[in-house]
């Protein structure tokens, strides 16, 4: 079922969902199941599965460092299929511009059709670690807008090199990213919102936001988006802080601000277990206020261990 239909069916009730990251290549999927099992009690209608870009790894060979380009966390679509089968839940693979040619994207989408995966999250992806700026893959897309267009074209039977005349067209429900504190490369929030509007105009059905820790930023973002004519559901992404290093890491990687009250509470913690508790309490408070505001879904970034998301869900769902 499409995410937008799940939202309609909920009839104003706020839904619970979360995002997971595939395990490192070679690790068993069982650990992922162990983390997801306790969260299924809260009946998520969908689970997102991230895609990681290829990256350079260095291996010593004959005294020299051998540089190889590899994907350390492959398997997004396999995991989506496996979770759908095991838990009877909708899964949303993240589809990236970076690292994929248009043809590879087309084949991935064909696989999604066969697996009856109806939702995809269309993203540009970040620059590779050693690159300062995002460089499009040869034969791939530069911006998420182009990816949205390719998916929408397929929904209309227009594949890259042929038009398929069929009454059995795909009808992917397309999610895109939004940034309450603007994307790090955007010159202003307003120009970033214009780009978001382009994605929606090209066929995106809903928006999931980057993490944020101050709800006022989300409320202002939604208002500005609505003023601009972005009328699709906007789903807040919530990340419970879990370790002290997040105070530096999250602003550095995601360019998000952390409110002083939260910084003070984390800094006062003696152990990482205390930090985890502070993160859970902050996320519960944020979630309650967002639910009151009427968000359609509360979407959590679980990033591995799920005990904190479980603690939050227990209070809310």
Ligand X SMILES: Cc1cc2nc3c(=O)[nH]c(=O)nc-3n(C[C@H](O)[C@H](O)[C@H](O)COP(=O)(O)OP(=O)(O)OC[C@H]3O[C@@H](n4cnc5c(N)ncnc54)[C@H](O)[C@@H]3O)c2cc1C
Residues that bind ligand X (CB under 6 A): 50-51, 53, 94, 96, 123-126, 143-145, 177, 183, 185-186, 192, 195, 208, 210, 237
C-beta of 281: minimal distance to ligand X in Å? 23
User: How far apart, in whole angstroms, are the C-alpha atoms of residue 42 and residue 293?
Assistant: 21
Q: State the maximum Cα–Cα separation within the chain, in Å, rounded to a whole number.
A: 64
CB of 178 or CB of 279, closer to ligand X: 178
User: How far apart, in whole angstroms, are the C-alpha atoms of residue 261 and residue 282?
Assistant: 10
Contact 4, 304 (CB under 8 A): no
User: How far apart, in whole angstroms, are the C-alpha atoms of residue 141 and residue 150?
Assistant: 10
Q: Is 19 an annotated catalytic residue?
A: yes
Contact 193, 138 (CB under 8 A): no
List Cα–Cα distances, 196 to 5, 29, 122, 152, 229, in angstroms. 21, 34, 12, 16, 10
The encoded tokens of residue 125 equal 């992806």
The encoded tokens of residue 248 equal 């530096």
C-beta of 153: minimal distance to ligand X in Å? 17
Q: Which one of 19, 118, 181, 310 is the catalytic residue? A: 19
Neighbours of 173 (CB within 10 A): 23
User: How far apart, in whole angstroms, are the C-alpha atoms of residue 248 and residue 235?
Assistant: 25
Q: H or E segment at 94?
A: strand 90-96
- Long-range contacts: 263-268, Cβ < 8 Å, 24+? 266/241
Pairing of β 173-178 and β 64-70: unpaired
The encoded tokens of residue 3 equal 């995410």
Active site (catalytic) residues: 19
């Amino acid at each position: 079922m499409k995410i937008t239909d799940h939202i309609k069916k909920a009839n104003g009730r706020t839904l619970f969902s979360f995002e997971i990251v595939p395990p490192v290549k070679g690790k068993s999927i069982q650990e992922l199941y162990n983390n997801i099992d306790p969260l299924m009690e809260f009946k998520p209608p969908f689970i997102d599965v991230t895609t990681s870009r290829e990256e350079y790894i260095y291996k010593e060979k004959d005294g020299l460092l051998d540089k190889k380009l590899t994907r350390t966390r492959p398997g997004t679509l396999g995991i989506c299929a496996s979770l759908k089968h095991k838990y009877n839940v909708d899964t949303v693979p993240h589809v990236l511009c970076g690292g994929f040619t248009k043809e590879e994207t087309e084949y991935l989408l064909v696989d999604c059709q066969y697996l009856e995966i109806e939702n995809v999250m269309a993203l540009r992806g970040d620059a590779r670690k050693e690159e300062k700026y995002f460089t499009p893959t040869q034969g791939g897309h530069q911006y998420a807008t182009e990816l949205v267009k390719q998916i929408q074209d397929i929904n209309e039977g227009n594949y890259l090199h042929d038009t398929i005349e069929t009454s059995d067209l795909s009808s992917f429900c397309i999610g895109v990213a939004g940034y309450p504190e603007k994307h790090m490369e955007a010159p202003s929030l307003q120009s970033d919102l214009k780009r978001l509007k382009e994605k929606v105009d090209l066929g995106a059905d809903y928006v999931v936001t980057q993490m944020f820790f101050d709800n006022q930023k989300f409320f202002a973002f939604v208002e500005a988006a609505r003023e601009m004519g972005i009328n699709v559901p906007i789903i807040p992404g919530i990340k419970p802080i879990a370790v002290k290093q997040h105070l530096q890491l999250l602003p550095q990687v995601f360019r998000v601000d952390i409110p002083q009250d939260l910084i003070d509470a984390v800094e006062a913690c003696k152990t990482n277990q205390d930090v985890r508790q502070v993160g859970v309490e902050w996320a519960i408070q944020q979630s309650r206020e967002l639910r009151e505001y009427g968000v359609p879904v509360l979407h959590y970034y679980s990033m591995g261990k799920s005990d904190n998301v479980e603690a939050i869900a227990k209070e809310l769902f």
